[in-house]
Amino acid sequence: MRARDGRLDVLLDGGRLPAAALSPGDSLESALARAVDLAVLAHVEQLETRVLEDGSVATAYLGLVSSEADVPGDWRPAAESALPFVGAAQSRLRAKLSYTNLGFALAPATFTISELREVYVAALGHDVSATNLQRVLVRRGVLERVDGRRAPGRTGGRPAALFRFASDRLEVTDEFAALRPPR
Amino acid sequence: MRARDGRLDVLLDGGRLPAAALSPGDSLESALARAVDLAVLAHVEQLETRVLEDGSVATAYLGLVSSEADVPGDWRPAAESALPFVGAAQSRLRAKLSYTNLGFALAPATFTISELREVYVAALGHDVSATNLQRVLVRRGVLERVDGRRAPGRTGGRPAALFRFASDRLEVTDEFAALRPPR
DNA sequence: TCAAAAGTGTTTATAATACACCCATGG
DNA sequence: CCATGGGTGTATTATAAACACTTTTGA
């Protein structure tokens, strides 16, 4: 999946989710590598295993692509997809965006807060305040300033500061307030 | 798994996790039902699918048993188990105890706050304040008072109020503070 | 000098933690 | 009447939301 142009997209292959059969002696990861180009995926995690209508067993993975990676293919709006697993992938993604640093997998390497906001809006499907997004993610140490600023467009405006994610591996950033271990 | 006597236990079957082969035309759930007695499980969820060392593919489930259900069998401390999936099960359980009502699956039908605290301590592996546990869970609407009180033991003490979980199906109770949809 | 876009300051709201203190019981 | 365990009141702290205001730019 990717979050771009205000929308969450799924990459299809012939109208279906990319898939590969698991050969004997094979690992799930190697089968996955046959189905998709792992190099473009900024994050991969296992989603769910289900017996499909035809009796076969499928293990689904959620793979995330940066909004700046120009991956060609049949990208379709996730919201309009009735394919199995897509709904589960969307829910998983939305939840993890809230309590982990998972945004790193959807955002460009460096970005302005406005750009990051667009990614979050696309993935979450609801409005997000740039002000509070910045405050929350910086407070949690998820975002770091990088040098330089993005020049404004033709319509003017103050140049925007650039940020990056402090880590590009999944980390839980919201240690749930309740029931936290004592210090 | 169950949380009892201050410990988190796994039910083993011949030193391994209970398992059943998936026959053709079978659903994962029916295979699961062959491996364990679903009736004693207050909650079941899929955990992870992995290719084992012998090349077979295994889909693991997390099943939770109430601390008052007296399920016979080879219960072993989860902390001491090096079996595959047990670590993942523990992490999943701990995380979900914090942001869902999952406690319902480990606790008795009705209980005092002290009893519930013991269940949480066993499952989380760290101390939990009874005062704050009560406040948080009641505030969130996870716990409800039920009539009656538990009489004190021989050593005295004020009779304890009884509670129950408001729901016995998994619900997310902590809509992560950050990035919540606007009202 | 105005509109646009970014960013900061400050207040308010909400939730959880800490801890002192009060309550009800058995011996 | 005191030890024990349960429960409440309340202050403090942490975190996020809201929003007014300031900054920096292009035209």
Give per-residue pLDDT as tens, A92-136: 999 899 889 999 999 999 999 999 999 999 999 999 999 999 999
Q: What separation in angstroms does the CA of B16 have from each of A172, B12, B83?
A: 31, 5, 7
How many other β-carbons are positioned within 10 Å of the β-carbon of residue B146? 13
Strand runs labelled E in chain B:
2-4, 7-12, 41-51, 57-65, 74-77, 143-150, 160-165
Computed over every residue of chain A, the mean pLDDT equals: 93
Domains of chain B are: 2-165 (1.10.10.10)
Chain A: closest CA distance from residue B101 (Å): 12
Cβ distance A124 to B181 less than 8 Å, yes or no, reads yes
pLDDT of residue A24: 86
Give chain A positions within 8 Å (CB) of B48.
46
pLDDT of residue B24: 86
pLDDT of residue B140: 92
pLDDT of residue B38: 97
pLDDT of residue A140: 92
Residue with token string 């869970």: B137
Q: If pLDDT is split at 50, 70 and 90, which confidence band does A173 have? A: confident
- Tens digit of pLDDT for each residue in A26-81? 899 999 999 999 999 999 999 999 999 888 999 999 999 999 999 999 999 999 99
**pLDDT higher than 90, residue A180:** no
* Structure token pair of residue A13: 């292959």
* Structure token pair of residue B84: 């595959």
- Which of B98, B132, B179 shows the shortest C-beta gap to A124? B179
pLDDT of residue B65: 98
Distance between start and end Cα atoms, chain A: 38
- Tens digit of pLDDT for each residue in A11-30? 999 999 999 999 888 899 99
A-interface mutation test, from B106, B176, B179, most A Cβ less than 10 A away? B179
Which parts of chain B have pLDDT scores under 70? Answer: 175-183
Cβ distance B124 to A181 less than 8 Å, yes or no, reads yes
How many Å from the CA of A5 to C1' of C6?
A: 21
pLDDT of residue A25: 85
Confidence (pTM): 0.91
- Which of A46, A57, A120 shows the shortest C-beta gap to B48? A46
pLDDT of residue A183: 59
pLDDT of residue B176: 66
Chain B: closest CA distance from residue A68 (Å): 23
pLDDT of residue B25: 85
Cβ distance A25 to B99 less than 8 Å, yes or no, reads no
* Structure token pair of residue A61: 């993975």
With CA of B152 and C1' of each nucleotide, the nearest comes out as C25
pLDDT of residue B161: 98
pLDDT of residue B99: 87
Give chain B positions within 8 Å (CB) of A99.
99, 176, 178
- Which of A120, A124, A179 shows the shortest C-beta gap to B124? A179
In residues, how long is chain A? 183
pLDDT of residue B93: 95
Cβ distance A51 to B182 less than 8 Å, yes or no, reads no
DSSP B100: B
Give chain B positions within 8 Å (CB) of A25.
55
Torsion of CA B148, B172, B102, B98, to 10 degrees: -100
DSSP A18: -
Read off φ and ψ for residue A113, nearest 5 degrees.
-60, -35
Cβ distance A51 to B176 less than 8 Å, yes or no, reads no
Cβ distance A126 to B181 less than 8 Å, yes or no, reads yes
